[in-house]
Chains A and B, each alone.
Chain A
Amino acid sequence: MSLNIVGLSAHFHDSACSLLRDGALVAAAQEERFTRRKNEPDIPRAAFRYCLAEAGLTITDIDCLAYYESPRKKLERQLWMGLPDVVPLRATAMFQLDSRRPERDIREVLGYEGRLEFVEHHPAHAASSFYFSGFEEAAILTVDAVGEWATTTYGAGRGTSLDIFEEVHFPDSLGMLYSAITAYLGFEVNEGEYKVMGLAPYGRPRYVDQVRELIEVGAGGQFTLRMKYFDFLRHDRMFSPALVELFGQPPREPESPLTPFAEDVARSMQVVLEDVLLDKVRYLHSRVPVDNLCLAGGVALNCVANARILREGPFRRLFIQPAAGDAGCSLGAAALAHIRLTNQRPTPSPLRHVYLGPRVQPDDVAALFRDCPDRVQDFRGRESELLRATAARLAKGAVVGWCHGRMELGPRALGARSILADPRDPNMRDRINAAVKQREAFRPFAPAVLAHRAREHFDLDHPSPFMLETSQVISPLALPAITHVDRSARVQTVDADSCPRFYGLLTEFERQTGCPILLNTSFNLRGEPIVCTPLEALLCFIRSDMDSLVIDDVLLDRAALPASWLARLRGTAPPPAAPVSATVYTLL
């Protein structure tokens, strides 16, 4: 009998479920991929069922279910932040001061009857990084918006033990600071932070003083926000009029044109974030003088900052797992529960890949195209031919939807549910931004590169399998589609072991073109979660402007699509799901 531990993140945003079997991570997925509602916060019913089914288990096989937060501690913080009102009356507060909800949902909605463990939020973040890093010892830094009380923690991991020795408490939060600027710049909170990061290189750091005014960096690991500039304590709003006054310009209207001012503020914010993080990382090293650093929490998704931490900071190695946000807490919660049950570290080996979601089932693909076999090319049993055909299309400038194997965990597409294209094409970035992803033109795309070729093209001396840090493009090739205005790129290095088919495609593309790099962006339309099933991939393909679609062994060209499919679906949007709040962190 194996030891089966389920980890759960839910009720905030990005709920997710993961399954540790005898300490090995065998399945994990975010609920949004199943409900098709971006950042789905509800209890992950479908992801829970998926994880069990993937491992061939049923609900009676679970030894322990671990939840990623302490509901009571969260309630303490909720009560405190509303003071002097003991009974908070803001619209989003109704029915939210409910510390019983997690257990109620786990028992009633999931139907789980067994042992339940609650772990705290930042320990879950820390565990999600350290226990999957493969490091025997490491310093651990977690930075997010807020968990229960903590917003930033400093810790040390050694073998099985994980010790958090210092915390910064709410409302002092780097995540909230970054999100407030995100909201001020007219982007969605908890989603638009990437956009601020992407916008930053276009600007000059002319508002660094103003951003520094928002935060006072203290001794040790501490810092404080100057709360007169923020409104999130008692209102459903991130920033106060004082912040607007400080910057001297009204907040940017969402969807309005981007101005140099917005670019400058983004740059300034990014600079201050990096400076503060570097300062705190140095402090952490002074307390935990080892070579390895584990990062986690939503702020650890800031790959520009990550690169600078590694480059300029005192640590020699950095580990971040790609679901560094709250979805990843499900991993950490499961890992901590594993230790509570066994007194042993879940797994000694590092996380090599995150292809932990639902797999493409050949039988489903066959059923999908059974009535239109003439529309598709079936390469079953002929992988090299499939790769040749796909690479040839890419080389000719095609945008290819690529849905293969098991879906990735976390916000980045890593070659399982990806849109791929030739990074050398100067028009590619605008084309994909405008016609495929329907998103803002300023955002760069990321490259996936054969791991053993990475050094020739990027200033990168170590693997970056999860696309979580940026490096300078030093390639002899012109790579306009993936090179940012500051010549940086968010690199994914691909090796043959963790993703053989994607590695094979890159190899074949290199053979045909001499370029071992592909543009790699997530397989979805604007506002939609990344596709999960073959049908979702097909729908996204038809709705958008991609040229070809590969679903495992099947290749489909746009030219072969029946006119009726296009007439029905081209240009349509996925059915709208009730959006999750994007104007403020639902702190309650």
Chain B
Amino acid sequence: MPDRPDASLIPLVRRLAELLDSDAGTQVMALMQKLVLLSASGASRTVTGEAAPVDRAVAPSAIPAADAVVPSPSAQPQRVGIWTRGADHAPWTRNPALKNQWRFWADIDEIPAKGARRRVLLLGESVARGYLFDPWLTPALVLERMLNDALGDGSFEVVDLARTDLTFRELVPLLLETPALEPDAIVLFAGNNWENVNLSMREFQLLATALRAGGFPACQRAFIDQVLVPASRAVLDLLAATVQTLGIPAVVVVPEVNLREWRNDAAALAPTLTGGGNRVWLGLWARAQAEFANERYEHAAALLREMIELDGGTGSPPQALLGECLLHLGRRSEARAALEAARDAVCGIFIRHAPLCPSAVQTVQRDKAAQHGLAMVDLSRVFTDHLHGELPDRRLFLDYCHLTREGIHLAMAATAAQLAPRLGRAVTPVGRFLRVDMPMSPSCLAMSHFLAAIHNAHYGQDKAVLEHHCREALASSADIAEVMRDYLDFQIRRAPNWMCRSYERIKDLGAAELRAVDRYLSPEDAGTVDKFADFALVDCIERALRDAGVEVEPWLSEHIRREHVGDDVNLLATRYRAATFWERSGHSTALPRAYHQACTPVSTFFLIRDDSAAVTLRLTCRVRGSEPVPDHSIVRVNGVDVARVPAHATWGTHAIAVPRGCLRAGVNRIDIHWPIHTPPCPDDLERAASNLERCVFPDVLPVFGEIFMARSAP
């Protein structure tokens, strides 16, 4: 072959480039590449990981087939999670090279070499870590104590292999590494993060095709049926193959979530619907909320069902409100179904949301446990029985999926009861394990509740939940008041937490508290990620403290003003705009923009002022798809209309005078109410499908308005 292409062909490639130089041409080329790659690749499956593009084309899913990777009992992996095998019979120790991952795993330096005790491995995600209780109380510690106390002989050890943020990417290699620890049983307690799969090129294409055919509802079904369920099955097959090869039992703990109280971020209303359906949907939503407020639950339910018909189950808020209506109407099992549907609504449509184990994964776990003869603890049943048919709530959950002390206790007692006969002991009733006590200091309990208040706030949960956890924290230990005051201090500062003396004071409390605070509050990013505009949480803390007899005013107001009053304030800064993770990062996983996109009908900003002097707001905004219908956006300052801004499809820059007296010293709220009858752009769904075809995550939510600049100046 000549060492370079023929120069005489350049006129031909010129002509070809001319023809390909269009949106269609680009898609034609990509499709041709894909067709060749996909037809050339067999169905071979590769172990998960950051796949190169070609591997991504080849791998139908991220999970190896069980028969392709049957674990061998004689395999001697040198590494399990972050721990490395010691020489001879020395303990496994944490690998310093993986130090940046340590905080995701159990905070233990070493795992002893296998001794005489019967060894249970606990694999799982943050729920299994005991998130917000870890390190002073974890499911592994509880399970070990239960086995040893109830079965009486101290001959069990539970090795904590749970990892926060565990996905298939970590679970699959971990399963393959388990034989190295010579387990006598494996407990798998995971599923909340399984939606987070590495999509292959083939899968992206499949989702694009579904999206074109039937919008996001079809895309969601395709994701669940053709990606999530097969991947979940494959992982359970791998678990079964592992324990069968080792000749040991396994217990599958099927996760449950806080159905009664957890609400997916209200900002993610419904994805873009076909035929401009969002406009109708939003109209129904307003009416349904009004009916609900007037306690006309049947009427509200009817409207909500219309909405669900329109969004095909991809909208979480109507399902959640329907659940509320049905509870008011005393129809508990229908309510459960609606709330489960609210949980499942956000699955597989590229909307960022809290980790939630969807029904489809629960079902796979139940079916596969039965098929392979694995023991099972179905938390949904365990909790329902415990609550005598009521829906799980704050009694068992700290937030969306993380368990309270009581929840951990129930889950591990049921697990212990499954393990006992399988580890050669007599069948032992759950009640026996439930009687085993796991003490916890009041200060640690208080800290967990306070961390839960913060966590819920940053997920945009209801104020009532934040108040509950603040109250519980103070009720557990009055000493937490100091921590809460310190939080107010460092959270409001512009400096990163680790530079604040108040943060250091918390760490001085004690080793356990320090570890918890570093795990949950310390930014591993060293402060390069902006702090939240979590003024609702600040209010809650302030009130809870006042109720407990601790006055933080006027210090708090002065502190806020000292840090944040400025002449020229960029209101788009995270600090003045985003109260939650998703407001900070964006609700969708699509490419971030150089401008702010409002996925809710109202955009809110916080402006901190020293006084009530007049300011000018400079606003560059647009409302895509707004023309030819003339409309306005309304700017409100502390609830008072100050301007109507014409809504144009192209950018406009507006100077808005906020007269003296509208603002006040302290935190002011500026709302922009976008016109809500705006239909989404007709080509939004096609653009989303094109992005999926390029293996790029699509825009999902309708955008009400866009802001390039929002500044406040004197």
Interface-central residue, A49, A79, A91, A92, by most chain B CB under 10 Å? A79
Check A575–B26 contact: CB distance below 8 A.
Answer: no
Any A CB within 8 A of the CB of B293: no
Given known A-B contacts A59-B708, A97-B26, A371 and B652 have beta carbons under 8 A apart: no
Q: Which of A355-394 contact B (CB under 8 A)?
A: 363-364, 367-372
Check A89–B33 contact: CB distance below 8 A.
Answer: yes
**A-B contact list, 19 entries, CB within 8 Å:** A58-B618, A58-B709, A75-B20, A80-B10, A81-B5, A83-B5, A87-B32, A97-B29, A108-B591, A108-B593, A109-B594, A111-B651, A364-B494, A371-B501, A535-B528, A572-B526, A574-B526, A575-B524, A575-B525
Q: Which of A258-311 contact B (CB under 8 A)?
A: none
Given known A-B contacts A89-B37, A98-B30, A367-B495, A109 and B591 have beta carbons under 8 A apart: yes
Check B694–A72 contact: CB distance below 8 A.
Answer: no
Q: Which of B's residues lie within 8 Å of A, judged by CB?
A: 3-6, 9-10, 13-14, 16-18, 20-23, 25-26, 29-30, 32-34, 36-37, 52-54, 57, 100, 201, 493-496, 498-502, 504, 507, 524-528, 563, 566, 570, 591-595, 618, 620, 650-653, 694-695, 706, 708-709
Q: Which of A425-479 contact B (CB under 8 A)?
A: none
| A183 → B minimal CB distance (Å) | 18
A569 to B706, CA, bound (A): 38
Q: Which of A36, A94, A111 contacts B595 (CB 8 A)?
A: A111
The chain B residue sitting closest to A542, CB to CB, is B526
The chain A residue sitting closest to B57, CB to CB, is A94
| A321 → B minimal CB distance (Å) | 26
| A43 → B minimal CB distance (Å) | 8
| B317 → A minimal CB distance (Å) | 27
A233 to B592, CA, bound (A): 33
The chain B residue sitting closest to A98, CB to CB, is B26
Per-residue B-contact encoding for A86-107, CB less than 8 Å = 1, 0 else? 1111011111011111000000
A113 to B36, CA, bound (A): 37
Contacts of A48 in B (CB 8 A): 594
Known: A59-B651, A76-B10, A539-B527; 4 extra A-B contacts, CB below 8 A, are A84-B5, A97-B26, A99-B26, A562-B504
Check A536–B22 contact: CB distance below 8 A.
Answer: no
Given known A-B contacts A84-B5, A227-B3, A535 and B496 have beta carbons under 8 A apart: yes
| B216 → A minimal CB distance (Å) | 19
The chain A residue sitting closest to B10, CB to CB, is A80
Check A83–B9 contact: CB distance below 8 A.
Answer: yes
A228 to B3, CA, bound (A): 6
Contacts of B500 in A (CB 8 A): 371
Contacts of B524 in A (CB 8 A): 575
Per-residue B-contact encoding for A191-230, CB less than 8 Å = 1, 0 else? 0000000000000000000000000000000000011100
| A231 → B minimal CB distance (Å) | 10
Given known A-B contacts A80-B13, A89-B37, A564 and B4 have beta carbons under 8 A apart: no
| A532 → B minimal CB distance (Å) | 11
Check B36–A60 contact: CB distance below 8 A.
Answer: no
| B604 → A minimal CB distance (Å) | 21
Check A60–B651 contact: CB distance below 8 A.
Answer: yes
Contacts of A87 in B (CB 8 A): 29, 32-33, 36
Any B CB within 8 A of the CB of A410: no
Any B CB within 8 A of the CB of A332: no
Q: Which of B23, B30, B494, B563 contacts A94 (CB 8 A)?
A: B30
Contacts of B525 in A (CB 8 A): 575
Check B706–A111 contact: CB distance below 8 A.
Answer: yes
A565 to B591, CA, bound (A): 35
Check B5–A60 contact: CB distance below 8 A.
Answer: no
Any B CB within 8 A of the CB of A568: yes
The chain A residue sitting closest to B504, CB to CB, is A564
Any B CB within 8 A of the CB of A71: yes
Check A58–B3 contact: CB distance below 8 A.
Answer: no
Contacts of B501 in A (CB 8 A): 371-372
Interface size on A, residues (CB 8 A): 64
| A18 → B minimal CB distance (Å) | 15
Check A58–B620 contact: CB distance below 8 A.
Answer: yes
A372 to B57, CA, bound (A): 53
A575 to B498, CA, bound (A): 16
A363 to B566, CA, bound (A): 9
Contacts of B563 in A (CB 8 A): 367, 370
Contacts of A363 in B (CB 8 A): 566
Check A535–B527 contact: CB distance below 8 A.
Answer: yes
Contacts of A101 in B (CB 8 A): 26
Contacts of A227 in B (CB 8 A): 3-4
The chain A residue sitting closest to B52, CB to CB, is A91
Interface-central residue, B6, B26, B527, by most chain A CB under 10 Å? B26
The chain B residue sitting closest to A371, CB to CB, is B500
A97 to B30, CA, bound (A): 8
Contacts of A60 in B (CB 8 A): 620, 651-653, 708
Q: Which of B29, B498, B570 contacts A564 (CB 8 A)?
A: B498
Per-residue B-contact encoding for A331-364, CB less than 8 Å = 1, 0 else? 0000000000000000000000000000000011
Contacts of A83 in B (CB 8 A): 5-6, 9, 13
Given known A-B contacts A81-B5, A88-B33, A89-B37, A368 and B498 have beta carbons under 8 A apart: no
Contacts of B504 in A (CB 8 A): 562, 564
A87 to B30, CA, bound (A): 9
Check B695–A367 contact: CB distance below 8 A.
Answer: no
Interface-central residue, A61, A111, A226, A565, by most chain B CB under 10 Å? A111
The chain B residue sitting closest to A85, CB to CB, is B36
Q: Which of A46, A99, A536, A574 contacts B21 (CB 8 A)?
A: A99
Contacts of B593 in A (CB 8 A): 45, 108-111
Any B CB within 8 A of the CB of A171: yes
Q: Which of B5, B34, B495 contacts A80 (CB 8 A)?
A: B5
Check A49–B594 contact: CB distance below 8 A.
Answer: yes
Contacts of B708 in A (CB 8 A): 58-60, 111
Check A565–B21 contact: CB distance below 8 A.
Answer: no
Contacts of B507 in A (CB 8 A): 564
Check B6–A76 contact: CB distance below 8 A.
Answer: no
Contacts of B6 in A (CB 8 A): 83
Check A79–B653 contact: CB distance below 8 A.
Answer: no
Q: Please give me the 7 A-B residue pairs with the lowest Cβ-Cβ distance, nearest first.
A: A227-B3, A83-B5, A367-B494, A45-B594, A76-B17, A79-B13, A75-B17
Contacts of B3 in A (CB 8 A): 226-228
| A255 → B minimal CB distance (Å) | 15
A317 to B313, CA, bound (A): 71
A61 to B651, CA, bound (A): 10
A572 to B524, CA, bound (A): 11
